A and B are shown apart, each in its own frame.
Chain A
Amino acid sequence: MSRYAVITDLNRCVSCLNCVVACKEANGVPIGNFWIKILRVGPNPKYPGATYPDVEMYYLPVSCQHCERPACVDVCPTGASHKTENGSVQIDHDKCIGCQFCVMACPYGVRYLNVEQGVVEKCTRCYQKTNEGELPSCVTACGGSARFFGDLDAGYGDFRSRLDENGNNISLLDTSYVKPFTDDQVYALPDSGNGPSDRFILRNRVWR
Chain B
Amino acid sequence: METQWPLVLFTLFLCLSCGLMLFQGIIATLGKGSSKFHQAAIITSAVSLAVGGIAVFFHLKHWERIFNGFGHITSGITHELILVVVMFVAFIAGFIMLRKGRDLGRVMGIVFIVIAVIGGFVTAHSYDMYARPAWNNIFLYLYYYSSLLLLGAAAIWTVASICKEPAELCKTTAWWTLVCALLSLVVVIAAMVFISNITPSTIDGITFYTYDPTHQAVDPSGSLAVGMSSPLFWLGAVVIGCVVPAIVAFLAAKKSEQAAKPALPVVALLCGIAGGVCYRVVLYMVAIASYVYFF
Which one of A77, A96, A97, A107 has the highest number of Cβ atoms from chain B below 10 Å of its Cβ?
Answer: A77
Does chain A have a CB within 8 A of B59? yes
Quick check: A190 and B68 within 8 Å, CB to CB?
Answer: no
Quick check: A95 and B290 within 8 Å, CB to CB?
Answer: no
A104 to B294, CA, bound (A): 14
The number of chain A residues with a CB under 8 A from chain B is 33
Quick check: A76 and B75 within 8 Å, CB to CB?
Answer: yes
Quick check: A96 and B129 within 8 Å, CB to CB?
Answer: no
- Give the residues from 150 to 208 in chain A that come closer than 8 angstroms, CB to CB, to chain B: 189-190, 192-194
Across the two chains, which residue of chain A brings its CB closest to B287?
A104
Q: Which of A71, A78, A98, A101 lies in contact with B71, CB distance below 8 A?
A: A78
Residues of chain A within 8 A (CB-CB) of B131 are 71, 104-107, 192
Does chain A have a CB within 8 A of B291? yes
Stretch at the interface among B76-84, B99-107, B111-119: B76-84
Quick check: B129 and A95 within 8 Å, CB to CB?
Answer: no
Residues of chain B within 8 A (CB-CB) of A57 are none
Does chain A have a CB within 8 A of B66? yes
**What 1/0 flags go to B1-29 for Cβ under 8 Å of A?**
10010000000000000000000000000
**What 1/0 flags go to A64-77 for Cβ under 8 Å of B?**
00000001001111
Residues of chain B within 8 A (CB-CB) of A97 are 60-63, 65-66, 68-69
Quick check: B63 and A77 within 8 Å, CB to CB?
Answer: no
Known pairs A100-B4, A104-B131, A113-B61; list 15 more (Cβ under 8 Å).
A74-B74, A75-B76, A76-B72, A77-B76, A78-B65, A80-B68, A100-B59, A101-B75, A105-B131, A107-B289, A107-B290, A109-B292, A119-B62, A190-B204, A190-B205
Q: Residues on B close to A: CB < 8 A?
A: 1, 4, 59-63, 65-66, 68-72, 74-78, 81, 126-127, 129-132, 204-206, 287, 289-294
Q: Residues on A close to B: CB < 8 A?
A: 37, 39, 60, 62, 71, 74-80, 95-101, 104-109, 113, 118-119, 189-190, 192-194
